[in-house]
Structure 1
Amino acid sequence: MKKLAFIGTASALLVAGGGYALAQSGTLVALAKIERGEWQLRASDGSTRSICVTDPRVLLQLRERAAGCTNFVVENEPNAGRITFSCPTGKTDTRITVETPRLIRLETQGIIRGLPFTEEYEGRRTGACKAAGR
């Protein structure tokens, strides 16, 4: 519940300090360290999924990529960062830690379409992206 309270606080900052939020919007510097290619994401429940990462920003919104989202960078360190997204369908808070260019940790939580979620992933680059149709 404490983590979800943060999302509400961040959202209030976006609304109350509109000009400041625009100055802080953007992306995370740690993303530049992530290698492009095929990644396997292993959830804390043991399930896995593969994703072709041509732009590391896709890792920040695994659950929902709705149009019209705004973001606010909360932390922006060389190897880690946290960003919040406010979208028409809900709000998300994501923290990423880049252990190596081929190993990351993701923690994401929020509310999408009125339903709360919390997910944790370990991501490992497994090689080049698979060609479409193969």
Structure 2
Amino acid sequence: MSDTARLKPALMGAAAMILLATPGAAQTPAALSGLQGGVWELRDLGRSGRTPRHICVRNPERLLQIRHAGRACPRRILSQDRDSVTARYECSGSGWGQTTVSVETPRLARIDTQGIHNGSPFHNVYEARRTGDCP
């Protein structure tokens, strides 16, 4: 058996260990882990008088991608601590976004999101409040 053949299993195992040990690789950011699922009301703080949006949040990471909802966009965490997380995501063909979610309680958060959606820039700041259970 050649040296390469003997090293291959060890190298593959080492690569798997590195991927599994990467912080946040497949984990919900700590700040979002305490948020309750359910219907969340998003009140746009920059546009008073506008009717709030309601979204069903089954996974709190949904709050990181408000504008490009429903798309599987690669995301990376830029910063996080106990109470907030900032992530950037790229959606092939429809734009990108960068969002900071600041958690106040398990039922209240502030979302600051900006980026490009279908060629147009956006910037919204929302008060997000859990209002009930998803249907």
- TM-score normalised to structure 1 length: 0.73
C-alpha distance in structure 2 between counterparts of 1:121 and 1:107, whole Å = 6
1:6 aligned residue: none
Residue 106 (str. 1) matches residue 107 (str. 2): no
Pick closer, same or farther for the CA change 1:77–1:52 going to 2, 3 Å: same
SS of aligned partner of 2:33: helix
1:127 aligned residue: 132
Work out which of the residue numbers 49, 54, 65 in structure 2 matches 1:50.
Answer: 54
State the shift of 1:117 in Å: 0.5
Q: How many residues align?
A: 110
* Identity %, equivalent residues: 38
Letter in 2 for 1:112: H
Residue 81 (str. 1) matches residue 85 (str. 2): yes
How well do the aligned residues superpose, as a CA RMSD in angstroms? 2.1
1:63 aligned residue: 67
| Moved >4 Å (runs of 4+) | 22-27
Q: Which runs of 5+ in 1 are unaligned?
A: 1-21
Between 1:30-39 and 1:59-68, the stretch displaced more is 59-68
State the shift of 1:23 in Å: 7.1
Q: Which runs of 5+ in 2 are unaligned?
A: 1-21
Letter in 2 for 1:53: V
Between 1:115-124 and 1:57-66, the stretch displaced more is 57-66
SS of aligned partner of 1:92: strand
C-alpha distance in structure 1 between counterparts of 2:40 and 2:113, whole Å = 17
State the shift of 1:65 in Å: 3.4
Pick closer, same or farther for the CA change 1:23–1:38 going to 2, 3 Å: closer
SS of aligned partner of 1:63: coil
Pick closer, same or farther for the CA change 1:58–1:68 going to 2, 3 Å: closer
C-alpha distance in structure 2 between counterparts of 1:38 and 1:69, whole Å = 22
SS of aligned partner of 1:38: strand
Structure number with greater Rg is: 2
Between 1:71-80 and 1:98-107, the stretch displaced more is 71-80
